[in-house]
Chain A
């Protein structure tokens, strides 16, 4: 267990560092995917089957593709650059400050005080589903509404180019 955790943690951290420091943007994105996958595996190793697999499905399957597509479509993959050494100092300070705030929030939160010796339930997926649709149904609905709004917004943003595209289609046909 600890050996697996140390290995996974090392891989995840190394990939995260690589994602920040590699010169080519696509390499950074691929390294980030490794970090996502490592995180998912840590969840799996901790026995959080659903969260780990959802992490893999969403981040490796969808978010990573979104990132590489964004890079490709903005021609960012052609640019080869050194990450900004100019702002290294201020960046480090800001990162440390954010980390300190987050760490403080996590350490003092109610969640961190819950005893972890409680045996995990056997059928976690089902319990997560039941919880989501009973106790947390309102947040779920709100998130659904938000996502619908985002979807409609994206469609409207993409809509503007419609007339040109239609003419293009008419011409080739």
Chain B
């Protein structure tokens, strides 16, 4: 913080830390034996309140955004600008009959939505949403994120298998195959960040990026390896969360929502909630790893509280996801797998090499320019070569619809 702004800086500091201060105050003013309980509640309750609230907001935003992209209005009947639509949706989900297929495996069918929601909430424990605002300080926080996140696949399997429905099982198999395939580039692209930051703790990774040269921040996305890593990470994240254009496990038009087809009422809503929670969490991780977490994009903007920056970045990511969903067509299964293994994986490995080169090239004025050039070449040349190589022998032409155009 700049010295001349000490007055404003002091105020900004206090606003920035307001939740931390409130937390300490609340803990200090409870009787001793209950302190541990208050401490835990003050970690858990905000996460349980904020992110489902964001989910409600996002559903409106998404339906509005998609509506605009598709040249229609979207929800506009419930409340001002349709803002109360999630309330109506929630009430509808609650009052619906909970149908369980007769041949379904009752216990597993019941547990699947619970497992998926619990794991979706657990990953928020290590996400730094503001300065000093990480729920649980873990040295291996990133490992925790991926370890808990990997339990999602199991929940998807439980849902698909226990429903005893061929579309469910098909959707679950697709989803698991997709998640396993894209988990590899997802984790590999984070390794580049871990190599440079030298830590697995998310809050330390943010701190490593929260300094400025002049007014410009040291975010990892502004380096060749970081830029490539960020794109790889967000693409893999979209696939990992079954988000369009990788939404073929739930392709509404072919396998009628896949593994969640046999769920109704509130259990369906839980799956829906979990899916959005995962999107927020993985976007939050992307922000933490590459976009400087809660740090301000320009040094003089640091007077705005850190948590506002985190959520602003999160909203930008969510809007990008909605935009992508509205504009890109769904991939085919073979395209999906080819893309994961033949393009994403090699690029992630190249990115790791690039990060290593970046890390070990010497400092100095000349070298910092040279480092940029070398690392850009390391990323760009394989990118072009891979893209050309994969394109080879394939003719890209307008698709002919054999059956649709005959009638």
Contacts and interface: CB of A to CB of B under 8 A. Distances in A.
A26 B105 CA distance: 11
A49 B139 contact: yes
Interface in B248-299: none
B154 A53 contact: no
Contacts of B144: 53
Interface string A65-78: 10011001000010
A27 B148 CA distance: 21
Given A49-B138, A123-B139, A125-B140, A68 B161 contact: yes
Given A30-B158, A49-B138, A60 B143 contact: no
A33 B139 contact: no
Contacts of A57: 143, 146-147, 150
Given A33-B154, A125-B200, A53 B180 contact: no
A126 B199 CA distance: 8
A78 B47 CA distance: 41
A64 B173 CA distance: 14
A69 B161 CA distance: 11
Contacts of A53: 140, 143-144, 147
B147 A61 contact: yes
Contacts, number: 65
B154 A56 contact: no
For the residues of A in contact with B, the DSSP-based class is helix
For the residues of B in contact with A, the DSSP-based class is helix
Contact of A68 (B140, B143, B151, B157): B157
A43 to B, nearest CB: 11
A151 to B, nearest CB: 12
Contacts of A124: 139
Interface string B100-127: 0000000010000000000000000000
A146 interface: no
A7 to B, nearest CB: 17
Q: Bin the interface of chain B by size.
A: 20 to 34
Nearest to A61: B150
A50 interface: yes
Given A49-B138, A61-B150, A72-B161, A30 B108 contact: yes
A119 interface: no
Given A65-B180, A69-B176, A54 B143 contact: yes
A123 B147 CA distance: 19
Interface in A19-37: 26-27, 30, 33, 37
Interface string A107-132: 00000000000000011111000000
Nearest to B148: A56
In this complex, the member of B108, B150, B183 whose beta carbon has the largest number of chain A beta carbons within 10 angstroms is B150
B153 interface: yes
B370 to A, nearest CB: 28
A79 interface: no
Contact of B154 (A64, A72, A77): A64
B151 A60 contact: yes
Given A123-B139, A125-B140, A56 B161 contact: no
A142 interface: no
Contact of B147 (A26, A33, A56, A64): A56
A137 B122 CA distance: 34
In this complex, the member of A27, A33, A68, A122 whose beta carbon has the largest number of chain B beta carbons within 10 angstroms is A68
Given A30-B158, A65-B154, A77-B161, A49 B140 contact: yes
A62 interface: yes
Contacts of B143: 49-50, 53-54, 57, 125
Nearest to A69: B176
B55 to A, nearest CB: 25
Interface string B158-195: 10010000000100010010001001000000000000
Contact of B151 (A26, A27, A61, A69): A61
20 contacts: A30-B108, A40-B147, A49-B138, A49-B139, A49-B143, A50-B143, A53-B140, A53-B144, A54-B143, A56-B147, A56-B148, A57-B147, A60-B151, A61-B146, A61-B151, A64-B154, A65-B153, A69-B176, A125-B143, A126-B198
Given A61-B153, A72-B169, A123-B139, 11 more contacts: A30-B108, A33-B154, A49-B140, A53-B140, A54-B147, A56-B151, A57-B143, A72-B173, A125-B139, A125-B200, A126-B198
Interface of A: 26-27, 30, 33, 37, 40, 49-50, 53-54, 56-57, 60-62, 64-65, 68-69, 72, 77, 122-126
